[in-house]
Amino acid sequence: MAIHVGRWDCTTCGYKGVRGPETECLNCGADRPKNVKFYMAAEEDIVQDPTVLRRARGGADWRCSFCSQNNPNAVKICKDCGNTKSDSDKQLAVKTYNTAAVPRTGDGTRDLPQNTEETPPPSSKKGCFIALGVMAVIVSVLLLFSLNSAIEVRVEGFEWKQSIQVEEKRNVQEEDWSIPSGGTIVTSFQAIHHYNQVLDHYETRTRTEQRSVGSEEYVCGKKDLGNGYFEDQYCTRTLYEDYQVEYEEPIYRQEPVYQKKYRYTVDRWFAINPIVTQDKNHSPQWGNTVNIRTNPSLREAGRKGIYTVLVKEEEIHAHEIPLSWWQKLKVGDKIKAKQGRISGHYRGLYPEEEQ
């Protein structure tokens, strides 16, 4: 397993890329950060020297509990203050990363002390406050423009349109697998009802499959040894090869299944032109339905009315309203309508219950 030299960044002077094993910044002499996070500088920075390899595999560095200096694992006396290594001295963390997660830069990677959060830059808060302020202004403007004032408009006239839906009974000819109620058979015959899949034969074909031909080890990550070095981590994966396989594929044919089908006549109702009446007055009248009542081949299938009141503000406005309210109104009546408080635009009538 290859050993790589890591790097760390000085948080005192900002110097980048101090060699991992160094416990002091080469630029300013400051101690390696208490919560240092090592990173890989280059894959080719591999340790070859046997002495350095022993140092790298000797265990994580320890931090003096008295002066916080980082010391190699093999050192028993703190090189900074002379304090003897004890059980209270903490070793730097040993961490394993998969290939994608291996740290490659020291910028912003220094671990924070436990239960400590980074303070976002003031500009971030300022940006949030500005965005919230803009949103508040927009909402306020929308609310202002949605406010209405009550005005009175005068009833100027009425319009109405009423329609009676009419259906006509016709005797038609249809085909189906059964005769509906009221139908009269004309003839019957054999017809294809559906198809069944029936095995016809087999065809020899080939497909590509894979088989295991062994395994291999590959570098799948790095272990931060806690002393400025990284060690390759290996995983095992299976190797496969493609090969061709012959197989017999079943071929099916569609076999029709016949059943008796019927041709018959039956009465059906069809919509025809409605009876429509309309006018511009206050006296609606339904159309004449004498023909419907006297002709057994016709029937009424529903009624619909549209009732419109014309009101005057600065101009004439037409509103479709319920019949019960429409019938109560008279020309000259004053009713409440909505007007935009800011824009002054006409926005329609208030409902009858708010009049």
Confidence band, pLDDT 50/70/90 cuts, at residue 85: confident
**Mean pLDDT, residues 320-338:** 97
In this structure, the answer to whether residues 246 and 317 fall within a common structural domain is no
The number of domains in the chain is: 2
In this structure, the answer to whether residues 296 and 317 fall within a common structural domain is yes
- Tell me, yes or no, whether 310 lies in a domain: yes
- Tell me, yes or no, whether 195 lies in a domain: yes
255 and 193 in contact (C-beta within 8 Å)?
no
The tens digit of pLDDT for each residue in 278-327 reads: 999 999 999 999 999 999 999 999 999 999 999 999 999 999 999 999 99
In this structure, the answer to whether residues 187 and 324 fall within a common structural domain is no
Phi, psi of 330 (to 5 degrees): -135, 155
- Tell me, yes or no, whether 285 lies in a domain: yes
Domain boundary among 231, 265, 299: 265
In this structure, the answer to whether residues 202 and 316 fall within a common structural domain is no
- Whether residue 70 is predicted with pLDDT greater than 90 in this model: the reply is no
**Mean pLDDT, residues 32-50:** 84
In this structure, the answer to whether residues 210 and 346 fall within a common structural domain is no
- Whether residue 252 is predicted with pLDDT greater than 60 in this model: the reply is yes
Q: Which string of DSSP letters, residue by residue, matches 167-219?
A: EEEEEEEEEESSPPTT-EEEEEEEEEEEEEEEEEEEEEEEEEEEEEEEEEEEE
pLDDT at 126: 61
Please give the single-letter amino acid code of residue 127.
G
Structure tokens belonging to residue 243: 């090969």
Phi, psi of 228 (to 5 degrees): 95, 0
Confidence band, pLDDT 50/70/90 cuts, at residue 263: very high
pLDDT at 116: 34
Structure tokens belonging to residue 156: 């100027």
What one-character DSSP code corresponds to residue 24?
A: B
In this structure, the answer to whether residues 163 and 283 fall within a common structural domain is yes
Q: Which helix (H) or strand (E) holds 130?
A: helix 122-146
- Tell me, yes or no, whether 140 lies in a domain: no
- Tell me, yes or no, whether 36 lies in a domain: no
In this structure, the answer to whether residues 308 and 278 fall within a common structural domain is yes
In this structure, the answer to whether residues 314 and 249 fall within a common structural domain is no
- Tell me, yes or no, whether 194 lies in a domain: yes
In this structure, the answer to whether residues 205 and 283 fall within a common structural domain is no
- Tell me, yes or no, whether 253 lies in a domain: yes
- Tell me, yes or no, whether 189 lies in a domain: yes
In this structure, the answer to whether residues 211 and 284 fall within a common structural domain is no
Structural domain span for residue 275: 156-168+269-354
The tens digit of pLDDT for each residue in 118-167 reads: 333 444 456 677 888 898 888 888 887 788 899 999 999 999 999 999 99
Task: Using alpha carbons, select from 295, 355, 21, 31 the residue that is nearest to residue 169.
Answer: 295
**Mean pLDDT, residues 193-216:** 97
In this structure, the answer to whether residues 193 and 330 fall within a common structural domain is no
In this structure, the answer to whether residues 259 and 312 fall within a common structural domain is no
